[in-house]
Amino acid sequence: MLKENIHIDLVIETLDGPLRAHRAILASRSSVFDGMFGNDFKEKNLGVVKILNMSTDEVLTFLSYIYGTIKHDDFSKHSLTLMAAADIYDIQDLKDCSEEILLADINTTNVLKRLGTAWLYKANKLMAECLKYLFEFGMLYVVRKELKDFFRMADRELLLEFFEEVFTVWKNL
């Protein structure tokens, strides 16, 4: 339906261009979209939703998930963006799937970013695995240069949890 433009009744404005979709499908998968289209909001009246924090490619991937046509490679490529969209549009199963994808390939180049993402979106399993990677697998030393920027940008509560993990590891040595 999405690719064929069958009975399209909604325009989604993205960072770099418009896409078209179906209100009923979006509303059936998201309480946020349902609220937009079910109440007297401008999105209902104008038939336009603005998602200006995502590119056309990212929104198309998001829509592909909602429509059930997403490809694994697209999911992997946009998993951070999809987790953010899942949080914004209240789609728990998308958040859970994004978390699973992000868990699959934690490494020294992405662990701190994923830790921040896990904290931001309350993805507890991802947070635990990032901390485990850093402390139990001894990768904290490997990312020591990146920690300075991480500490500068991190939320106080995340820093507290980070240092609680440090103290737990030291206690067990």
Q: Give pLDDT, residue 80.
A: 94
The Cα 162–Cα 171 span in angstroms is 14
Q: Give pLDDT, residue 169.
A: 67
Write the CB contacts of 18 (distance below 8 Å, at least 6 apart in sequence).
Answer: 11, 12
Write the CB contacts of 117 (distance below 8 Å, at least 6 apart in sequence).
Answer: 80, 83, 102, 123, 126
Output DSSP code: residue 91: -
Q: Copy the structure tokens of residue 22.
A: 């179906």
Q: Can you give the residue ranges of every domain in the chain?
A: 1-103, 105-173
Q: Give pLDDT, residue 172.
A: 67
The Cα 113–Cα 120 span in angstroms is 11
Q: How many CB atoms lie within 10 A of CB 130?
A: 27
Percent of the chain surpassing pLDDT 90: 64
> Mean pLDDT in each 10-residue stretch from start to end of the chain (173 residues)?
73 95 94 88 80 96 95 94 96 96 94 93 93 86 88 86 78 64
Write the CB contacts of 121 (distance below 8 Å, at least 6 apart in sequence).
Answer: 83, 84, 86, 87, 95
The Cα 52–Cα 70 span in angstroms is 21
Q: Give pLDDT, residue 20.
A: 93
Q: Give pLDDT, residue 165.
A: 78
Q: Which fold is adopted by the domain 1-103? A: Potassium Channel Kv1.1; Chain A (3.30.710)
Q: Give pLDDT, residue 143.
A: 92
